[in-house]
Amino acid sequence: MRSKVIAAPLCLFITLLISLSFLPMRAAGQEYTVDEVNSLIDGIVAYKLGGSGSADVQDWIDGELSGTAGQGSEWYVIGLSQSGYSSFSSYEAALKSYLSANDVSSATSREKFALTLSASGSSDKYISDILDSSIGQQGIMSWIYGLHVLNNGYTCQNYDTGSCVGTLLSLQYDDGGWALFGGSGDIDVTAMVIQALAPHYPYSGDVQTAVDRGLDFLSERQMDDGGYESFGSPNPESTAQVLTALSALGIDCQQDDRFIKNGCTLIDGINMYRLPDGSFCHNIGGGSNESATVQSYYSLIAYRRTLNGQGPLLVLDNARPVEDTPAQKEDPTESSSGNSSGDGQVQEGTIPEDGGLSQMGISPGVHHVVPSGGRTTAPFVKGTISTLTTAAPSATAGAKKTDSSGSTLDDLEMANSDATVTVSSGTTTVSKTQATGKDKISGTKKGSYKPKVIIIIVGAGLLLSLLIFALGKRNYKNFIFVGLAVAAAIAIVLLTDIKSPDDYYSGEATHKENSIGTVTLEIRCDTAVGKLDADYIPEDGTVLPETTFEITEGETVFDILMEAAQTYDIQVENSGGSGNAHGMVYIAGINYLYEYALGDLSGWVYHVNGISPSRGCGDYTLTPGDKIEWLYTCDLGRDLNEVYEE
> Per residue in 204-224, pLDDT tens?
999 999 999 999 999 999 999
- The pTM assigned to this predicted structure is 0.59
Q: What is the pLDDT of residue 201?
A: 96
| Choice among 96-110, 331-345, 392-406, 481-495 with the minimum mean pLDDT | 392-406
Q: What is the pLDDT of residue 490?
A: 87
What does DSSP assign to residue 284? T
| Averaged pLDDT of the chain | 76
Is-cis flag, bond preceding 343, omega within 30? no
Q: How far is CA 308 from CA 32, 301, 317, in A?
A: 14, 10, 14
Asked if residues 428 and 385 have their Cβ atoms less than 8 Å apart, the reply is yes
Cα separation, 170 vs 463, whole angstroms: 81
Work out whether the CA dihedral 434, 439, 440, 444 comes out positive or negative: negative
| Count of other CB atoms within 10 angstroms of residue 428 | 24
Judge whether residue 83 has pLDDT over 90. yes
Q: What is the pLDDT of residue 551?
A: 93
pLDDT band (50, 70, 90) for residue 394: very low
Percentage of the chain modeled with pLDDT above 70: 70
Cα separation, 77 vs 301, whole angstroms: 12
Please state the φ and ψ torsions of residue 389, each to the nearest 5 degrees: -135, 135
Instruction: Write the CB contacts of 469 (distance below 8 Å, at least 6 apart in sequence).
Output: none
Percentage of the chain modeled with pLDDT above 90: 47
Q: What is the pLDDT of residue 1?
A: 46
Q: How far is CA 514 from CA 459, 518, 578, 622, in A?
A: 44, 12, 21, 14
Q: Is 51 helix (H, G, I), strand (E, B) or coil?
A: helix
* For residues 91-97, average pLDDT: 96
| Choice among 17-26, 593-602, 621-630 with the minimum mean pLDDT | 17-26
pLDDT band (50, 70, 90) for residue 344: very low
Each residue's pLDDT tens digit, 531-542: 888 888 999 999
* For residues 265-271, average pLDDT: 96
Q: What is the pLDDT of residue 66?
A: 95
Asked if residues 387 and 566 have their Cβ atoms less than 8 Å apart, the reply is no
Cα separation, 58 vs 87, whole angstroms: 8
Asked if residues 595 and 602 have their Cβ atoms less than 8 Å apart, the reply is yes
